[in-house]
């Protein structure tokens, strides 16, 4: 059978299918809880549970960062009404993980505190920290400070569940977002389309869109939530702004 010139030739080859981009990761808002007492912690957790499925608890030891917050012992007997990701801004993350135990759904450890040897040498390495998180029934992620190059986390991307990019200097709330930190988010998203990438610091209705466009799918907000009289409305505004910016609406 002759085929007319220019006619489709189904038998001659396979139709080309345009390569599809992977679906973007679902956006998630995580309330940040930076408090100094157990009483404040309980109050903030109750509020966070009204607008989110998980909250970020900042644990600071006054050494890795020049500030202190609630400590691991403050979590003893605590029954959070939502999942907890614990952001460990401490010099000894392994000790903090052991003290917190099975109360965390996700441990976020700063790459700057990770050792190159083993815990026996003084600082646990990524493999040891990851293994301990798994033993405690938690996911494991790495956090990276605003001034730390993204190259610091690249060797570990295959063993983490999430990467947290600090978009301010770690240690204090209420700081403005540092725009250059979003370049690290974009670089990570290009390398790992399916990775959960979290941003923390200076996130509000004006900056959340830039973070989402850069590739962040998990956004941490403290002042932009708890500083508002209507928490639900503030949460909806943040997620809506992020979605519109990411989707180009």
196, 200, 204, 210: the catalytic one is 200
User: 198 and 167 in contact (C-beta within 8 Å)?
Assistant: no
58, 61, 74, 92: the catalytic one is 58
Q: Is 161 a catalytic residue?
A: no
Number of domains composing the chain: 1
DSSP per position, 107-132: EEEEGGG--SS-GGGTS--HHHHHHH
User: Which of 62 and 9 is assigned the larger pLDDT?
Assistant: 62
Establish if 12 belongs to a structural domain.
Answer: no
With bands split at pLDDT 50, 70 and 90, how would you rate the model's confidence at 249?
Answer: low
pLDDT average, residue stretch 163-176: 88
Establish if 16 belongs to a structural domain.
Answer: no
Establish if 94 belongs to a structural domain.
Answer: yes
The whole model's pTM is what?
0.89
Establish if 2 belongs to a structural domain.
Answer: no
Report the CATH number at residue 30.
3.20.20.70
pLDDT average, residue stretch 42-66: 95
Sign of the four-CA dihedral 117, 119, 125, 128: positive
Q: Is 121 a catalytic residue?
A: no
Establish if 13 belongs to a structural domain.
Answer: no
Establish if 134 belongs to a structural domain.
Answer: yes
**Distance (Å, whole) CA 171 – CA 178:** 14
Q: Which two tokens stand for residue 136?
A: 């405690």
Give pLDDT tens digits for 76-109.
889 999 999 999 999 999 999 999 999 999 999 9
**Which among 48, 84, 51 has a CA at the least distance from the CA of 239?**
51
Give pLDDT tens digits for 206-238.
999 999 999 999 999 999 999 999 999 999 999
Establish if 18 belongs to a structural domain.
Answer: no
Domain that holds residue 193: 24-247
Establish if 212 belongs to a structural domain.
Answer: yes
């Amino acid at each position: 059978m002759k085929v007319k010139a220019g006619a489709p030739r189904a038998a001659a080859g396979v139709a080309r299918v345009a390569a599809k981009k992977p679906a973007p990761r679902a956006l998630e808002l995580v309330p940040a809880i930076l408090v100094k007492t157990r009483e404040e912690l309980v109050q903030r957790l109750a509020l966070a549970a009204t607008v989110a499925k998980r909250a970020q608890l900042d644990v600071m030891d006054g050494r890795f960062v020049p500030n202190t917050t609630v400590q691991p012992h403050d979590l003893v007997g605590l029954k959070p009404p939502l999942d907890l990701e614990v952001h460990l801004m401490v010099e000894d993350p392994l000790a903090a993980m052991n003290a917190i135990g099975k109360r965390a759904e996700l441990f976020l450890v700063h790459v700057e505190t990770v050792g190159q040897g083993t815990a026996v040498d003084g600082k646990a390495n990524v493999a040891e920290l990851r293994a301990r998180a798994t033993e405690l029934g938690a996911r494991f992620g790495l956090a990276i400070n605003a001034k730390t190059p993204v190259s610091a986390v690249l060797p570990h991307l295959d063993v983490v569940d999430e990467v947290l990019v600090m978009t301010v200097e770690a240690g204090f709330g209420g700081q403005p977002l540092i725009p250059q930190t979003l370049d690290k988010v974009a670089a990570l998203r290009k390398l790992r389309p399916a990775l959960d990438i979290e941003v923390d610091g200076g996130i509000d209705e004006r900056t959340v869109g830039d973070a989402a466009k850069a590739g962040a799918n998990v956004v941490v907000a403290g002042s932009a939530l708890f500083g508002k009289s209507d928490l639900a409305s503030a949460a909806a505004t943040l997620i809506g702004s992020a979605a519109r910016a990411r989707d180009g609406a």
